[in-house]
Amino acid sequence: DAKTTQPPSMDCAEGRAANLPCNHSTISGNEYVYWYRQIHSQGPQYIIHGLKNNETNEMASLIITEDRKSSTLILPHATLRDTAVYYCIVRVTTQGGSEKLVFGKGMKLTVNP
């Protein structure tokens, strides 16, 4: 089962910042938080990931609380093309060492004009 909880949906106005929350209260000390999004039925698109420090890249910023029990994905200037299902995922390390992502239901972000 997914180790994260997200609200099922959120609306945002075009051009405004979109702040997407995620709870992961059972996260372990060495587990990373990953964010992906899926537009229509395309393959999940990687956005960003982090362990404990805040992270920023060309797509988004990731803010992780000090206790690591929750995080927020920030899209600084949302566009209509950012409308998608966003997944907050805690990476699980398998016994074989591979990177297993357990997807939850995600959160549908709708950016409105």
Q: Which stretches of the chain bind another protein, using CB under 8 A? A: 32, 34, 38, 41-46, 49, 51, 87, 91, 94-105
Give the shortest CB-59-to-another protein separation in angstroms: 11
Q: Which is nearer to another protein, 23 or 38 (CB)?
A: 38
**What are the DSSP calls for 21-77, one per residue?**
EEE-TT--TTPPEEEEEE-TTSPPEEEEEESSS-EE-SS-EEEE-TTSSEEEEEETT
Start-to-end C-alpha separation, the chain = 35
Q: How far is the CB of 51 from another protein (least distance, A)?
A: 8
92 neighbors 79 (Cβ within 8 angstroms): no
- CB closer to another protein out of 35 and 70: 35
When the beta carbons of 18 and 33 are compared against another protein, the nearer one is 33
- In the complex, the smallest distance separating the C-beta of residue 18 from another protein, rounded to whole angstroms, is 21
